[in-house]
Structure 1
Amino acid sequence: MSSVSSPAAVPTPPVLTIIIPVFNELAVLPVCLARLRSVLEVLAVSYELLFVDDGSKDGTAAYLDRTAMALGAMRVIHLSRNFGKEAAMTAGLDHAHGEAVIILDADLQDPPELIPDMVKAWKEGADVVVMRRRTRMGDTWLKRVSAHIYYRILNRLSEVEIPPDTGDFRLLSRRAVVAMRKIPERGRYMKGLFAWIGMPTTTILYDRAPRVAGRSKWGLHNLAKLGFDGITSFSLSPLRIASITGTIILAIGCALGLLVVARILLYDESMSVPLALVALVTFLAGLQLSTIGVLGAYVGRIHTEIKQRPVYLVQDIVERQTDTQPSPRPN
């Protein structure tokens, strides 16, 4: 008598994936994990914690590996080097299994206790849940003011409305994650890309807390670079402004030239000519160099895209194998 074997059970994907990009965050990780697990256990949904180690050098990788082997709902993606937070978030989205995905910083400035509110908004039909900062405790006055001004300028210049006063803390539905995976560009400004895909969006206001431990990895140079990337990624306005400014300065230069000629002919003020020429040439040279710089930024982005290097490279993935291990999700 022949026996018929029952088919293997199809693994069920988790409802929720929490993506946590980390770079040298060993000091805060125990607190981050404890608060995350306490929130998710009360939420009572299946979940996975997906840590993306972006080339940490302080013992973060070893700590995450040990923890992942002890827990059944945690994976660690180790990138081959430090690619930056935008690339780390991209890696997390590419490897997330959940029906909904939340991006969270490990420093706990964005409180994980808000996750139930985000999940509720998603279940009510939102594909994107944007967390907008009402206050920014722990940030300096200069950082708060500069961020406020930057987002307003960005939205003035951008062809896509990017929610102001928001970071990367947000929820994306499976449909939104699939849309993000279709974006091939290398130079990534994730806040802009999240807005570019559109889809039904809900905004939740919250108060941003100070860092629990450790130091911010975002210095003035990195913030300035990210801000400039945002403008050049989502707006051609700097090129238009440079062109218009050049035309205006050319007209002013012609007018000044005629004025100098008139004064020489009428008043014989020949001594004013050298000073006028020096001032004019210096001004035009500065304008030309700044315009070339703006143009070079866009050419540099083109150069980055045509090289077609991957956004990130994965060194390895650490997880504890279980019988209910979810299978990879299709793009």
Structure 2
Amino acid sequence: MTVLMKRKISLVCPFYNEEQGVRVFFNRINEALAPLTERYEVEVIAINDGSLDQTYEELIKAKADNDYLTIVDLSRNFGKEAAISAGLDYATGDAIIPIDSDLQHPPEVVLELIEKWEEGAEVVLAKRVDRETDRLVQKFTANYFYKLHNRISNIDIPADVGDFRLMDRKVVEALKNLPENSRFMKGLFAWVGFRTTTVDYKVAPREHGATSFNTWKLWNFAIEGITSFSTAPLRVWTYLGCAVSVAAFVYAAYLFITALFFGVDTPGYSSIMITVLFASGVQLIGIGVLGEYVGRIFAESKKRPVYIVREVIK
């Protein structure tokens, strides 16, 4: 008699200073995914990303009540992108779903993602339908980030889509083959391609605590995303340098003609300073943009691991 093996669903959940929300998270997961247990085997890969509170201890307690839980404890805080990469490396499911541990990604949406996967999609994106939980600055910058990124990059990142998605095993294996150290996961997810569909969902308020992503971190994250998948910022400075050179040539010709026909005026301190400061500012900004790319080359050349695991508890 042939016994059909259940396919496995893996949830990848980064945790960082979420001690108050661990028990609530697993209660919601158990309740939301109860309908799946007859057809699927479920595992949860919880990545403790160097939490400074009692998150690790709370995960150990959750492990005692949930056999499906695997805890990957990182040696320090490597950031969410590295934590997701660790989760993808340790996940063994036929479908893998990164999901936030703060429950802003409703676990109930997982059922919809799996339904689309069963219909043949290899990637199922969870697209947020509003940004009511974001601050005003986040709403503004997120909207223009996607527009700017997709205009200057050859890889389009779907707007209002984060890490919450379902990926078939073949998609995850493709991602694991990407060797880069500086990882902008939204871009990497889009780069690998595969057959993709979308499910809409409404972002829930955080159950506990506050987000660690402030405006400064989001700004740096946006720069990381743009420099990871586009060389347009470098190309812009080539054109800007040409424009400044042309303007300088035209101005020099104007001064020559003026001196030739009308004589030389007394040189003005203000005009000299404006010209020098403008040219210096352009050069420094250009060097800064170049430095972003050189910094990435430097980081990649060292070939350090994306993360270091302190302990794995299965």
TM-score (norm 2): 0.94
Preserved CA contact (<8 Å) 1:13 1:97: no
Provide the residue aligned with 2:168 in structure 1. Answer: 173
Cα offset for 1:260? 2.9
Provide the residue aligned with 1:28 in structure 2. Answer: 21
CA distance in 2: counterparts of 1:23 and 1:272, whole angstroms: 61
CA distance in 2: counterparts of 1:202 and 1:157, whole angstroms: 24
CA distance in 2: counterparts of 1:220 and 1:243, whole angstroms: 30
Correspondences of 1:1-331 after superposition (within 5 Å): 15-44=8-37, 45-268=40-263, 270-319=265-314
CA distance in 1: counterparts of 2:112 and 2:266, whole angstroms: 73
**In terms of mean alpha carbon deviation, does 205-214 or 186-195 score higher?**
205-214
Cα offset for 1:224? 1.1
Percentage identity across paired residues of the two chains: 38
Number of residue pairs aligned between Structure 1 and Structure 2: 308
Cα offset for 1:268? 4.1
Cα offset for 1:269? 5.9
What is the one-letter code of the residue matched to 1:305? E
CA distance in 2: counterparts of 1:222 and 1:142, whole angstroms: 13
Cα offset for 1:273? 4.2
CA distance in 1: counterparts of 2:7 and 2:281, whole angstroms: 57
Tell me, what secondary structure is at the counterpart of 2:43?
strand
Preserved CA contact (<8 Å) 2:10 2:97: yes
Cα offset for 1:305? 0.8
Preserved CA contact (<8 Å) 1:139 1:210: no
Preserved CA contact (<8 Å) 2:12 2:98: yes
Preserved CA contact (<8 Å) 1:13 1:98: no
Tell me, what secondary structure is at the counterpart of 1:81?
coil
**Which is bigger in relative contact order (C-alpha 8 A, separation at least 6)?**
1
The structure-2 alpha-carbon separation of the partners of 1:180 and 1:13, relative to structure 1 and needing over 3 Å to count, comes to farther
What is the one-letter code of the residue matched to 1:253? A
**Deviation string, structure 1 residues 100-140 (Cα, Å, up to 9, x no partner):** 00000111111111010000011111111111111022111
Provide the residue aligned with 1:9 in structure 2. Answer: none
Preserved CA contact (<8 Å) 1:129 1:202: yes
What is the one-letter code of the residue matched to 1:194? F
Q: Which runs of 5+ in 1 are unaligned?
A: 1-11, 320-331
Cα offset for 1:220? 1.4
Preserved CA contact (<8 Å) 2:19 2:54: yes
Tell me, what secondary structure is at the counterpart of 2:294?
helix
Tell me, what secondary structure is at the counterpart of 1:205?
strand
Tell me, what secondary structure is at the counterpart of 1:28?
helix
What is the one-letter code of the residue matched to 1:34? N
CA distance in 1: counterparts of 2:52 and 2:7, whole angstroms: 31
**In terms of mean alpha carbon deviation, does 172-181 or 254-263 score higher?**
254-263
Cα offset for 1:43? 2.4
CA distance in 2: counterparts of 1:31 and 1:72, whole angstroms: 17
What is the one-letter code of the residue matched to 1:27? Q
Cα offset for 1:14? 5.5
Cα offset for 1:267? 3.9
**Deviation string, structure 1 residues 218-263 (Cα, Å, up to 9, x no partner):** 0112111111010010001111011111111111111122223333
Preserved CA contact (<8 Å) 2:138 2:215: no
What is the one-letter code of the residue matched to 1:22? F
**Deviation string, structure 1 residues 183-228 (Cα, Å, up to 9, x no partner):** 0000100000000000000111222122121110101121111110
CA distance in 2: counterparts of 1:236 and 1:13, whole angstroms: 45
Tell me the C-alpha RMSD between the 2 structures: 1.4
Preserved CA contact (<8 Å) 1:14 1:48: no
TM-score (norm 1): 0.90
CA distance in 2: counterparts of 1:256 and 1:272, whole angstroms: 14
Preserved CA contact (<8 Å) 2:124 2:167: yes
The structure-2 alpha-carbon separation of the partners of 1:13 and 1:237, relative to structure 1 and needing over 3 Å to count, comes to farther
Cα offset for 1:70? 2.8
Q: Which runs of 5+ in 2 are unaligned?
A: none
Tell me, what secondary structure is at the counterpart of 1:19?
strand
